[in-house]
Structure 1
Amino acid sequence: MEARTETVTVADGSFDLHLWLPPAGRGPVILLIQEIYGVGPYIRKVAEDLAALGYVVGAPDLFWRIRPNWVSGHDEAGTNLSIEMVSTFDVPHGVADSAVALTHLRGLPEAEGGAGVVGFCLGGSIGYLLAATVEVDAVLSFYGSAVPDAAGMLEKITCPLLLVFGGSDPYIPRERVSVVEKAAAGRPNVEVYVAEEAGHAFHNHEAAQFYNQEAARAAWDRAVHFLGRNLAPASLP
């Protein structure tokens, strides 16, 4: 279903932006930011699901400075390799690259309507940080580990923001999620959704050690409604 791969150029090089188009051929854009496993089977399936809903979806290769288009397995060995890979990843570069990729998406001939960001794991952190630095119509962040320590940045985020966490996430303890809930209280643009029985990466159907089918379905339904409210595909003939 992938339509094509665009090339995005920044000051120190260029990287791939994998693109999926909706059935109508055009619509609002969503920047889909990868998890630590790269733009692999899971992210590609999410991209297909979003495109089927009517969005133009672009997933940038954020590890291009380290190993271009690197993808790992979702098993224990692949997870360890991914953790090693992300340990050398420069987050500010990732945020900056994502901002340029979002601008590129907005300039596509298929782009019609608003622009949103969806990120998972590493991408959830980058999407959140991006929301504090650029104008965007909606941001959906799944279990971004950087969010609790950067909860104060909520003051800079004015767009609709949905933060999704697992309440039993060993990487983001429940008390750290509570920090985010407290910071979000009273902010009408911010929604925090906690799947209390789920752990980290519970939406990732490719990772058996993380996947929680019931929690994933409930969170995705909420995500779809969030995007529909704030980034509805344009009415097309």
Structure 2
Amino acid sequence: MSDRIDIPTDDGPMPTWRFLPESGSGPGIVLFQEIFGVSDYIKARGADLAALGYVVLAPEIYWRLDDSEIDESRDDMLQRAMSVMGRVDWPKAVSDGATAVAAARADEHVHGGVGVVGFCFGGGLAFNVAAATDVDVLVSYYGSALPNLLDLAGDVTAPSLHHFGESDDYLSTDVVERVRAAVSRDGVQFETYAGAGHAFDNPHPMFHHADASAAAWRNTVDFLATYLPATGR
């Protein structure tokens, strides 16, 4: 089950999608979008997480921007998304993410801890939010901003899972290894996937790598079950 809620911020209400498990309650997960926004794909992942027993909040991080709609059926969707993302005020996005975590903790349906999960743009945002506020678990898929956030690695103390494709044209092998070196510690799992490019979990034919997507999701499910178990599983 999903609904739309507004999360109050200092600048106004932030539209947010909420996904509830069949039981109606469970641990919380704040789900951070790709550069394409809270797309059908992100909503599907929100529903997948809810099916595992989590209460999922997916805030619309582009809510402050005018003209932020992205049509994923267009050939220029990637250029359009990059243009929209380039207008994001990163500190405000981090503040919004931390506010969403606080909202999850206060949600009447959330019983237990609260984790953050993010994809691409959202993978880096989730990492920064985990550094800025207390979360119980972090899962980051190919966080595009991570190379510029490594000075925050010491502030991320939650158990963490990182996913990267080994054929990522956006994040080279050298960059991924630099990220690995910076974030590695007890409680951190770092997974790479042969043949997978950037955004390999996105089902769009431009990005999708079926084997890597399936393997990464299995790793995510197992990781969450270990560090933020939900009774719905």
TM-score by length of 1: 0.93
**Worse-matched range after superposition: 6-15 or 113-122:** 6-15
Equivalent residue number for residue 57 of structure 1? 56
Work out whether residues 70 and 80 of structure 2, in 8 Å CA contact, stay in contact via their aligned partners in 1.
Answer: no
- Taking the aligned partners of 2:114 and 2:30, their CA distance within structure 1 comes to 8
Work out whether residues 55 and 109 of structure 2, in 8 Å CA contact, stay in contact via their aligned partners in 1.
Answer: yes
Deviation for aligned residue 1:72? 3.0
Cα RMSD for the two superposed structures: 1.7
- Taking the aligned partners of 2:109 and 2:207, their CA distance within structure 1 comes to 35
- Taking the aligned partners of 2:74 and 2:194, their CA distance within structure 1 comes to 24
User: Deviation per CA, 1:143-167, whole angstroms, max 9, x where unpaired?
Assistant: 1111123223221111101111111
Equivalent residue number for residue 202 of structure 1? 200
**Corresponding position: 1:189 with 2:181:** no
**Corresponding position: 1:45 with 2:52:** no
Alignment of 1:163-174 (within 5 A): 163-174=162-173
Alpha carbons of structure 1 residues 188 and 75: separation in structure 2 relative to 1, 3 Å:
farther
- Taking the aligned partners of 1:74 and 1:227, their CA distance within structure 2 comes to 33
- Taking the aligned partners of 1:200 and 1:31, their CA distance within structure 2 comes to 22
Equivalent residue number for residue 223 of structure 1? 220
- Taking the aligned partners of 2:68 and 2:13, their CA distance within structure 1 comes to 12
Query: Which amino acid counterpart does residue 28 of structure 2 have in structure 1?
Result: V
Alignment of 1:1-237 (within 5 A): 1-2=1-2, 4-67=3-66, 70-73=69-72, 76-185=75-184, 187-205=185-203, 207-234=204-231
SS at match of 1:163: strand
Deviation for aligned residue 1:71? 4.2
- Taking the aligned partners of 1:68 and 1:222, their CA distance within structure 2 comes to 36
TM-score by length of 2: 0.95
- Taking the aligned partners of 2:54 and 2:232, their CA distance within structure 1 comes to 12
- Taking the aligned partners of 1:39 and 1:235, their CA distance within structure 2 comes to 24
SS at match of 1:118: strand
Q: State the identity %.
A: 36
Work out whether residues 23 and 52 of structure 1, in 8 Å CA contact, stay in contact via their aligned partners in 2.
Answer: yes
- Taking the aligned partners of 1:152 and 1:162, their CA distance within structure 2 comes to 18
Alpha carbons of structure 1 residues 96 and 74: separation in structure 2 relative to 1, 3 Å:
farther
Work out whether residues 162 and 192 of structure 1, in 8 Å CA contact, stay in contact via their aligned partners in 2.
Answer: yes
- Taking the aligned partners of 1:7 and 1:62, their CA distance within structure 2 comes to 12
Deviation for aligned residue 1:196? 2.8
Alpha carbons of structure 1 residues 25 and 68: separation in structure 2 relative to 1, 3 Å:
farther
Work out whether residues 21 and 232 of structure 2, in 8 Å CA contact, stay in contact via their aligned partners in 1.
Answer: no
Unpaired runs of 5+ residues, structure 1, are: none
Deviation for aligned residue 1:75? 5.0
Alpha carbons of structure 1 residues 162 and 75: separation in structure 2 relative to 1, 3 Å:
farther
Unpaired runs of 5+ residues, structure 2, are: none
